[in-house]
Structure 1
Amino acid sequence: MNIPFTLSSAVEPLPQAHAIPLDQLDVSDPRLLEQNIWPDYFKRLRDEAPIHYLPASPFGAFWSITRFDDIKFVDSNWKLFSSEPVIVIGDRTEDMELDMFIAMDPPKHDQQRKAVQGVVAPANLTQMEGLIRQRVGSILDNLPIGESFNWVEHVSVELTSQMLATLFGFPFEDRHKLIYWSDMATAVPEMTGAICDPEERMSAMGECAKTFSGLWHQRAAEQAAGQPPGFDLIQLLQNNEDTKDLIERPKEFLGNLILLIVGGNDTTRNSISGGVHALNQFPAEFDKLRADPGLIPNMVSEIIRWQTPLAHMRRIATEDVQMHGQTIRKGDKVVMWYLSGNRDERVIDQADHFMIDRHNARQHLSFGFGIHRCMGNRLAEMQLRVLWEEILQRFHWIEVVGEPEYVRSNFVKGFKSLPVKIHPK
């Protein structure tokens, strides 16, 4: 049963988690992340109902999987839990019936993923590091000193848009369109609870499809004229036997491009902001960082765990499955709440604490498990590592000077704004 949506932009305070009957606790409400009150809701489910069924919500009935080991089990068993036809909690709307390999099962998933994963192969990442460092340095050197500014806009979005333009071979001067299209693609009220004008979203998706169609034909013409093939995502798709005709399958063409844009945007962009915010909540960790910059790679993993940029992924049970005494029926919607699993005290010691020297910090759920494990995880980690290496060379402290604003969504756990002031060395 679906409950009608209320698309008001007002921020109505939500009740405390324990004030709601357990069988009515709805962790799909996008205001949980917007108001940053989600931890208590998910802790209650982990403690009292780790396999929790909600019979009615704006996104229909669904099971919530909230503990680390249970999420890992579901994510690692694609034969029991299918990714098709969509990986967000809400069902697809008519204007977003796109096909993308993250929402496919093998063998089609494997074929399409293989076509593009070369862009983040180790050799390519090594070559990209110098470019990333150069761009990070330029961004940081142009930040205002001694005055408040929005870290999300000036650093997180800027660095992410530059790297997306590089990965796609996209016109650099138009790079911010990639961020806009990513935001529009995930702002579907019926799918993620975000607030968006459907006409604006349709217009944005149309512009995205038209622009990338033009780039596809441009790349094809360049290769036909004898130019050597490049290594951007479009040419990788064109030069793979399974995806060379993707342009002739419009829903798959746009769907996979949106997937790659969103994948390259949200994880890195919100981890860049989340790291600054976390270090302000736990300032002693910044002292550790200054004393030992060698902790940066470990801190990057802790940032990604702490932030968990994508809150959930959904699956559909392909047969009846027993978990914790509950029977998940064939055809039921199953939602893995990564942000909850990343705070599961049963697996992660002091899970609500941000610790840059955490033992086994890479043991987190933010990249998923199994066949759908994040393709660009090493690129995201590298961008964050280089960013913090360059920050430490320039700044003594990045001070958060106001309350952050969070995105309204049950899928993207992100920042709209983060006001900061830089203190140079």
Structure 2
Amino acid sequence: MTLADLVDAPHEIPLDQLDVSDPVLFQQDVVGEHFARLRREDPVHYCATSRYGPYWSVTKFNDIMRVDTDHKTFSSEAKLGGIAIQDMQGGEGALELEMFIAMDPPKHDAQRKVVSPIVAPANLTLLEPIIRERAGTILDSLPIGEEFDLVDKVSIELTTMTLATLFDFPWEERRKLTRWSDVATATPETGLISSFDQRRDELMECAYYFKGLWDQRINSEPKPDLISMLAHSPTTRDMPFMEFLGNLMLLIVGGNDTTRNSISGGVLALNQNPDEYRKLMADPGLLPKMIPEIIRWQTPLTHMRRTALADAEIGGKQIAKGDKVVMWYLSGNRDEDVIDRPDEFIIDRLNPRQHLSFGFGIHRCVGNRLAEMQLRIIWEEILKRFSRVEVVGEPERSLSNLIRGFTYLPVKLHA
């Protein structure tokens, strides 16, 4: 079966041959039809052959919740494969990293606790005016009525500034964080890297750069930035080097890719749904509901993966110990049995927080409130300045089955 068949005719593929993991399906934004078929015909679906080996797809909201909240049966451990459909250890391109999102308790809980104060309510209150000032500076620098790339000029710039603040990273070099974030999830076919060896070399460069910051801060008074927190905590100060790099990658990608793609995705969604855009302009008070709807609609992380520690049953299917289980958040966020009119972008939903984009259970996104705050602030500042952010060309999407993102989105601003 050709790639064109995969993209164009999900209903003609024999069910047992349906493989929703092909990154091209996500880049061309056609994977939704494949997920709709699985939710209808085989909500817990076994794919025997894929580039990532055999795996189970869990595609409905409540089944995903069942897996996500049962960490005793379904492991995130890196040594067992980790948290993505691509195994974290062993196999081509594997970086052999460890990070707290790819750990089970008690080690997961201890390491997560070290960094969680940075996104506690009190610290978010301190961050809000800083992020707002930067959002204003970014927006005021943009041309009115001229085409530019929203991804580069707004989405990446705001989230990279925030990330640099969280790390207390050298300001003039902050775009290194953007590059390392992109490289961390890239494959040679994306064009971002030429080989897996190049990716490893760039990420080792990242690790040694941060080791320089670490060495400065471990010998200084503790400060409220992520590197100081990790360096001064008894739980993390003696991490092995590849675990140090793994946790860096987690914080960089988690703090950058997800929010930046939700910013871009929200602009696109409003342009694709002009009635909703008019509704927002007439009533900016709808922003608190629109923000979680953007995050549901975009689902910036398409999936998380677990490995079964014991035989288990999900949705009537028998999962064997050792099986790879993929929770497709993107599919669960379109589950009509749980979410009303899930294929519509509705900025005044009655229950907009009913979505899976942040995960559930012990691995629920630690920075979810920071992500929502950045989205809220950028939209509050946009609404103060512009009557419309108009998409003027086709978006270009990431070639990835994990990060649901954009590499380019041409827009014009209307005063």
Query: What is the TM-score normalised by the length of structure 1?
Result: 0.93
Match of 2:374 among 356, 380, 383: 383
Query: 2: distance between equivalents of 1:111 and 1:298?
Result: 33
What pairs with 1:302-381 in structure 2 (closer than 5 Å)?
Answer: 302-381=293-372
Aligned to 1:104: 103
Query: 1: distance between equivalents of 2:5 and 2:151?
Result: 24
Unaligned runs of 5+ in 2: none
The secondary structure found in structure 2 opposite 1:352 is: coil
Seq. identity, %: 62
The secondary structure found in structure 2 opposite 1:408 is: coil
The secondary structure found in structure 1 opposite 2:387 is: strand
Give, as a single letter, the amino acid of the residue that structure 2 aligns with 1:317. A
Asked if the contact 2:26/2:404 (under 8 Å) is kept, the reply is yes
Q: CA offset at residue 166 of structure 1?
A: 0.3
Indicate how the Cα distance of structure 1 residues 270 and 365 shifts in structure 2: closer, same or farther if over 3 A, else same: same
Match of 2:84 among 73, 82, 88: 88
RMSD: 1.8
Q: After the TM superposition, which of the residue ranges 92-101 and 210-219 deviates more from structure 2?
A: 92-101
Aligned to 2:168: 169
Query: 1: distance between equivalents of 2:247 and 2:5?
Result: 36
Query: What is the TM-score normalised by the length of structure 2?
Result: 0.95
What pairs with 1:139-178 in structure 2 (closer than 5 Å)?
Answer: 139-178=138-177
Query: 2: distance between equivalents of 1:40 and 1:293?
Result: 33
Q: After the TM superposition, which of the residue ranges 72-81 and 86-95 deviates more from structure 2?
A: 86-95
Q: CA offset at residue 168 of structure 1?
A: 0.4
Aligned to 1:271: 262
Asked if the contact 2:97/2:245 (under 8 Å) is kept, the reply is yes
Aligned to 1:413: 404
Unaligned runs of 5+ in 1: 1-5, 224-228
Aligned to 1:3: none
Query: 2: distance between equivalents of 1:131 and 1:199?
Result: 38
User: Per-residue displacement from partner, 1:52-87 (whole Å, max 9, x unpaired)?
Assistant: 000110000000000000001100000010011111
What pairs with 1:67-82 in structure 2 (closer than 5 Å)?
Answer: 67-82=60-75
Match of 1:290 among 264, 281, 288: 281
Indicate how the Cα distance of structure 1 residues 12 and 404 shifts in structure 2: closer, same or farther if over 3 A, else same: farther
Aligned to 1:226: none
Aligned to 1:22: 15
User: Per-residue displacement from partner, 1:222-250 (whole Å, max 9, x unpaired)?
Assistant: 33xxxxx210001111222211222xx10
Query: 2: distance between equivalents of 1:158 and 1:12?
Result: 38
Give, as a single letter, the amino acid of the residue that structure 2 aligns with 1:79. K
Indicate how the Cα distance of structure 1 residues 43 and 194 shifts in structure 2: closer, same or farther if over 3 A, else same: farther
Give, as a single letter, the amino acid of the residue that structure 2 aligns with 1:185. A
Q: CA offset at residue 194 of structure 1?
A: 8.8
Query: 1: distance between equivalents of 2:255 and 2:35?
Result: 27
Give, as a single letter, the amino acid of the residue that structure 1 aligns with 2:100. F
Give, as a single letter, the amino acid of the residue that structure 2 aligns with 1:212. F
4+ long deviations beyond 6 Å: 10-13, 192-195
Asked if the contact 1:11/1:31 (under 8 Å) is kept, the reply is no
What pairs with 1:171-186 in structure 2 (closer than 5 Å)?
Answer: 171-186=170-185
Give, as a single letter, the amino acid of the residue that structure 2 aligns with 1:111. A
